[in-house]
Structure 1
Amino acid sequence: MTDKVNFLPPEPIKLIDEDTESDELTRPFISNESNNFDTISNISMSNIGIKKIIISDCTIVTGDNGTKFAVWKMTLILKSDPTSTMNGGPPLIQLYKRYSDFERFRSKLLIKIREVRPDLRNLVPELPPVIPWYKSWDYDHLNFDKKWLAKRRIGLERFMSQVVSNSQITELASDELKKFLET
């Protein structure tokens, strides 16, 4: 049996920051490494310096017990310091996440925001939908369909972009965001 790796070309969405009041949030991250890759653990999350998030490269993986699942490549393009001597563009962080990781992250955001400010619970955006229960008999076929995965990728990218661009979410749930981006 041959395992195939499916590639879905990225269809980025444009994130526009119209928040002029959040000077504290726009302070850049500076990478200390000569390449443009860094890790979240080297970055202070007290200021969210993420310029753009791209979800791409869906890879279908077969687990130990034979079940298949999709792994998404998440690239964080960080705001760069114009006074930095670093060449080659802004620093990048690349992570790999499953849909279930995004579900757990959203649940943690909701719990944290309910604890601190229950009135702001609706700030947390929705994730793209899962396969409806009444179609679960054809789950493997539907869940790995290219069109379905393309829609899910767009939804995940929109979700993450809305989370990091919302200053209220990043302030109230900065620890949850940091943990999600570290693992």
Structure 2
Amino acid sequence: MSTTQSERLRELLEPLVTSQGLDLEEIAVDSVGRKRVLRVVVDSDTGADLDRIADVSRALSAKLDETDAMGEGEYTLEVGTPGAERLLTEHRHYVRATGRLVKFQLTEGGELVARILTVDGDGVDVEVPGVKGRKPTARRLAFGDIARARVQVEFNRKDDTSHKKEEEA
């Protein structure tokens, strides 16, 4: 049996989120003054648009209203996605980050910023950008060698020409 409120909430809400075709990534209950905020983070391999977020939010709200999972006090439900600079903690997170630039903190110390090319059960194949005119290099990282990984925001990806092709058409 679950011992914490977050675990109990996960057991209650995860089947509902899964039935909506989404993964329950995170649940957090925070106090903001006298009120509590229940933050639920959801995602899927294809992402979660605003309509899907609204649908799952309504379903979660109804489920919470019919139970006493949040107790008697007032609370606010916030449902969202992980955000641009998500922390990669599950295998599916790495798969979803394929093609993205990621900052890896390695278990042996040091950092590496590289683009995820492929992901399998043992680790990731990455491309380390070239420095000062050098060509990028390929590297293999086993999951055991990764202490922490976080997606990086890219505003001007130099090799992304898809927007130029659309503009020319």
Answer 1 or 2: higher relative contact order, Cα 8 Å, separation at least 6.
1
Do they superpose with TM above 0.5?
no
Select the structure of larger CA radius of gyration. 2
TM-score, normalisation: structure 1:
0.22
Structure with the larger helix share? 1
TM-score, normalisation: structure 2:
0.23
Structure with the larger strand share? 2
